[in-house]
Structure 1
Amino acid sequence: MKPVRLPAAATNALPRWVIFSLCLLYILPGLIGRDPWKGDDATSFGIMWTMANGGLQDWLWPHIVGLPMPEKGPLVFWLGAVCIKLFGWIFGAPMAARLSTGLFFMLGALSVWYTTYLLGRRSEAQPLKLAFGGQPEPKDFGRTLADGALLIYLGSLGLLVRSHETSAETLQISLVAYALYLSARLFDAASKKTALKLGLILGLMVLTRGWVLPVALFISLLAMSLYHQQKQYRLLIAIVAPIGILIAATWLLAILAVHPYDSSPYPAWMVWNYRQIGLPTIASVSYFFKYSIWFAWPAWPFAAWAIYAWRKQERALHILLPVTFLFCFILLALINNHSEEGLLLPMLPPLAILAAFGLPTMKRSAINAVDWFAVMIMTGVASTVWLYWIAQQSGSPLGMAKKVISWAPDYHSQFNLISFLIALLASIAWCRLVYWRISRQPSVLWRAVVLSGGGAILCWLLPMTLFLPLINQRISYHDVARQISEKLNTPYKCIESDVGPSQRASFAYFGELKFAGFSDQACDVLLLQNNTPSQLKALVATDGNLQEAWQLLWSGRRTADKDELFLLYRKK
């Protein structure tokens, strides 16, 4: 027997404009008005910027002004470079590259919504018919579940930072969500056109972040079709697999034909892929359980309940499909010994969809517990952000003001009226939302997650408006790049350096520094990070005494970073 018994009054859907506005409120803060941040964000931007200002070889061989970056795949960098080409002259290169990030997010969010809608209107997912009628129509039930899935997706804590970064993971999670949608279409009604699209998406996944995940996903879908006793396995084998291989092979064949820089990223790319496969270790298992609890909140409690509530209908597509995706991604996270947050991201779309089907069966006490948790945590975080902002502007409370200064010692506080008004309106909207939820006790299904989704948007929007200049100062290399550029005020051949990829990208863009390329040319400037012993030994071996061969021009660091030191040398 189905576990859902629901009146039509509980399926009032959100207006389309509200859904679209929530997505914009979520994604726009953090994309506008900031520098490339340390880590994957600046690294990916550096590859995009190099491609946009280079030739065919640069598009085929991902690198950051001469620093090879063969890992993952080129697709996300191609798309970002195209955006820089088209819109860089209007918005600037960093903002133009992040336009692609915004488009990736919208693709993922819409895919989660439409997948849930398709699965929710199927006959096996419908609530039990009431004795005197009044049960919801299939389309109304599907729309309400889709609204709930989108709110859960937006409320996922692990998505907040990653969805705003310029990185391969932002595209991968959106392609996973779209593959879920196409799989739902394929298993709902077998179609060669849908199979062709699914093969295309799997091929694009290979070009985004390697072949391990799409191959595992294809095997999982094949096993699911056999378990579900459907004939889709024929389409998977005859269409999906060949199309996916063909799409992925285009890049590899182009590399073979052009042979960029008399080399190839293929060997290193394959090594990176092989490193994703191993045996589960204590470290990988402990990392998964330690971080996935908060990373997938609030989706995983509802998803776990959905699996339990629908356990007698395990063959139903609305449970079997997201569970298949979810178990595939969990297994991949466990067998990867290089623990990172990017491994947990693909789980979020299937978790959000599963969680939506747990909403109709969740007990009121559990829903209220999740709501009160969201109210307390999100209100507490928002209040803390406001208190620190007041301390920054006024100098009181003194302890908080000193803490803000310690985050970015060189930052000078400034008041931005527009940012303040946006943050204030968002906070007022949050208070009204909490009041509506508590006072009216609405019966709609998505009431259980509206506070989690709205609270996540608020807690991201506040620092991205009130503290964005300070955050830029703390985790951007803009000022360091300017200092290095000022010291190199006479012509030089090139710079040999051991700095990391995000630093190299920032220095090349902000400071217009000329780093050594793929050729082994002798450079007359040396930039070291943390005085790396191996680099110094190599210099001593070739040039004798470092102090005799090289003149120290400058040393410095970001004021907020005590562990990072840069040394700039010039050949005597």
Structure 2
Amino acid sequence: MKPVRLPAAATHALPRWVLFALCLLYILPGLIGRDPWKSEDAAGFGIMWTMAHGGLEDWLWPHIVGMPMPEKGPLAYWIGAVCIKLFGWLLGDTLAARISTGVFFLLGSMSVWYTTYLLGRRAEAQPLRLAFGGQPEPRDYGRTLADGALLIYLGSLGLLLHSHSTSTEALQISLIAFSMYGAARLFDAQSRRAALLLGVTLGLLVLTRGWVLPLALWFALLIFSSLRDKKLLTRLVLFTLPAAMAVAATWLAVNHYVRPFHSSPYAAWMTWNYQQLGMPSWNATKYLLKNTPWFAWPAWPFAAWAVYAWRKQQQPLHIALPLMYLITFVVLATLGPRTEESLLPLLPPLAILAAFGLPTMKRGAINAVDWFSVMTLTTCAGFIWIGWIAKQTGWPAQIAKNAFKLAPGFKPEFNLIAFIVAACASAGWIVLVHWRVSRKPSVLWRAVVLSSGGVILCWLLLMTLWLPWINYGKSYAGVAQQLAQNLPPVRNCVDSDVRPAQRASFAYFGDIPFARFGEGNCDFLLLQDSNPDGKTGSAKLITRANQRWRLLWEGHRPSDRDERFRLYARVKR
């Protein structure tokens, strides 16, 4: 017997404008009004910016003004570079590049919604018919579940930073969600068009972040379809796989014939892919078990309950398909490096699976999640406000002291628009909590509306009240401008060992002419090192590559006491 028994009153869907507004409130803060940050964000922007202001070779071989970066794939950078070409003159290159990030997020959100909708309206997912009628219609039930899945997706803590970053991960997670939509269409319609759609999506995943994950997905779908419907094996072999290979091979084939910079990124790209595979290790498993509970909150409790509640049914597709995706990604996480990027693919299948746990979740468990969200996220929002007040007024003194200690030299300014937005968001949170507590609605998505609303509130407060402070600590704009001022106007090129994010920031903010492919005999040398003791002393003369170099400038970001940059000029004999 199915575990779900619901009246139609529990399946009132959220208005479309509300869903769209929530998505905009989620994605827009953090995209507007900031510099590229010290992370994959700045490195990804650097590749997009280099492509947008370069030629064909720069588009075929991803690099940051001469630093090769072919490891993950070019697709996300191509889209960002196109956005810079189209909108950079109007919005500036940094904001124009983030248009692609917003598009990636909306694609992922829509994919999660429509995948859940397709699975939720299937016959085996429907609740039991009530004795006197009044059960929901399949379309209404599917829409309500899809609303719940989207709210859970928006409330996932691990998604926040990566969904706002100009990186390959932002596109990868969206394409994973879209591949789930393609797989649901394939199992639903069993058509060639659906098989081709799935294949194109897997090929785009190869161009986004390597072939390991899409190949594992294809094998998992092959095994999964052999257990459910052997007719789909033919579709996966004859249509999905060739389509994926054709899409992925275009970049490699063009590189083979054009040979940008008299070489090819193929070898480095394959090496990076091989590094994503290894033997299962306890360290990787421990990292997965330690970080998934917070990274995938609040999805995993509902997802676990969904698997338990539907355990007596014979592999219903709405449980089996996202569970198959989830198992595949868990296995890959135990084989690959221990990074947050290995956990990101878990979020779309967990959100979809969690949505099917909402109809059977006990009221006591729902109330516990609600009160945990209210207490935790309200406290978090309160601390954000208190910290901002301390930063602006100097009271409480200790909090203000700690804030300025982490960002020495920072001068706070009052932004009326940011204050009004933050105040309205906080008032909206109070109204939402009051509605949830006083009205006690019966709709399915009531269990996660506070979790997603609270996460959106905290992120919005950080990206309005605290954005100048965060930007000051994570941006390289200031030190890049110092470097440019100390670089003589007559120069040929600058050789350097700085890391990708720093190289991108120096090239964009300081217009530093870094050495490019095959370029040598530079007159200047920029070095990056760590100086944990905070001392600024350094050698005035060094010898490197049989050349003597004289120190011209030394600097660092005010918020980073360890990182040091040193500019040297060649001593001519």
TM-score band (shorter)?
Answer: over 0.9
Match of 2:12 in 1: 12
Q: Taking structure 2 as the reference length, what is the TM-score of the superposition?
A: 0.97
Match of 2:551, SS state, is: strand
> In 2, Cα distance between the equivalents of 1:509 and 1:465?
25
Match of 2:57 in 1: 57
Match of 1:540, SS state, is: strand
The alpha-carbon deviation at position 524 of structure 1 amounts to 0.5
CA pair 83-212 structure 1, distance change in 2 beyond 3 A: same
> In 1, Cα distance between the equivalents of 2:24 and 2:545?
55
Q: Which runs of 5+ in 1 are unaligned?
A: none
Match of 2:285 in 1: 285
The alpha-carbon deviation at position 230 of structure 1 amounts to 4.1
Q: What CA deviation, in whole Å up to 9, does each residue of 1:183-220 have, x standing for no partner?
A: 10110111111111111110000000000000000011
Match of 2:534 in 1: none
> In 2, Cα distance between the equivalents of 1:541 and 1:506?
25
> In 2, Cα distance between the equivalents of 1:381 and 1:360?
29
Moved more, 33-42 or 305-314: 305-314
Match of 1:78 in 2: 78
Match of 2:324 in 1: 324
> In 2, Cα distance between the equivalents of 1:361 and 1:43?
44
CA pair 287-541 structure 1, distance change in 2 beyond 3 A: same
Moved more, 225-234 or 139-148: 225-234
The alpha-carbon deviation at position 530 of structure 1 amounts to 1.2
Match of 2:407 in 1: 408
Q: What CA deviation, in whole Å up to 9, does each residue of 1:318-364 have, x standing for no partner?
A: 0111011111111100111x211111111101100000000000000
The alpha-carbon deviation at position 281 of structure 1 amounts to 0.9
Match of 2:543, SS state, is: helix
The alpha-carbon deviation at position 175 of structure 1 amounts to 0.3
The alpha-carbon deviation at position 60 of structure 1 amounts to 0.6
> In 2, Cα distance between the equivalents of 1:353 and 1:106?
16
1:163 aligns with 2:163: yes
Structure 2 matches for 1:59-458, cutoff 5 A?
59-336=59-336, 338-458=337-457
Aligned AA for 1:175? L
Match of 1:465 in 2: 464
The alpha-carbon deviation at position 540 of structure 1 amounts to 2.6
The alpha-carbon deviation at position 389 of structure 1 amounts to 0.4
Match of 2:536 in 1: none
The alpha-carbon deviation at position 539 of structure 1 amounts to 6.5
The alpha-carbon deviation at position 469 of structure 1 amounts to 1.1
> In 2, Cα distance between the equivalents of 1:314 and 1:565?
61
1:543 aligns with 2:546: yes
Match of 2:557 in 1: 558
Match of 2:411, SS state, is: coil
The alpha-carbon deviation at position 4 of structure 1 amounts to 0.2
> In 2, Cα distance between the equivalents of 1:230 and 1:387?
60
> In 2, Cα distance between the equivalents of 1:254 and 1:230?
36
Q: Does the 8 Å contact 2:422/2:460 carry over to 1?
A: yes
Aligned AA for 1:484? L
Aligned AA for 1:171? L
The alpha-carbon deviation at position 541 of structure 1 amounts to 5.5
> In 1, Cα distance between the equivalents of 2:549 and 2:275?
39
> In 2, Cα distance between the equivalents of 1:298 and 1:432?
21
Q: Which runs of 5+ in 2 are unaligned?
A: 532-538
The alpha-carbon deviation at position 562 of structure 1 amounts to 1.1
Q: What CA deviation, in whole Å up to 9, does each residue of 1:448-474 have, x standing for no partner?
A: 000001001001000100011111110
Aligned AA for 1:80? G
> In 2, Cα distance between the equivalents of 1:339 and 1:357?
30
Aligned-pair identity (%):
63
The alpha-carbon deviation at position 46 of structure 1 amounts to 0.4
Q: Does the 8 Å contact 2:329/2:346 carry over to 1?
A: yes
CA pair 541-530 structure 1, distance change in 2 beyond 3 A: closer
Q: Taking structure 1 as the reference length, what is the TM-score of the superposition?
A: 0.97
Aligned AA for 2:141? F
RMSD: 1.2
Q: Does the 8 Å contact 1:419/1:465 carry over to 2?
A: yes
> In 2, Cα distance between the equivalents of 1:106 and 1:314?
34
> In 2, Cα distance between the equivalents of 1:111 and 1:542?
53
When the two structures are aligned, how many residues end up with a matched partner?
563
Q: What CA deviation, in whole Å up to 9, does each residue of 1:392-426 have, x standing for no partner?
A: 11100000111111121111010000000000000
> In 1, Cα distance between the equivalents of 2:72 and 2:182?
24
Match of 1:475 in 2: 474
Aligned AA for 2:80? G
Aligned AA for 1:486? Q
The alpha-carbon deviation at position 282 of structure 1 amounts to 1.5
The alpha-carbon deviation at position 490 of structure 1 amounts to 2.2
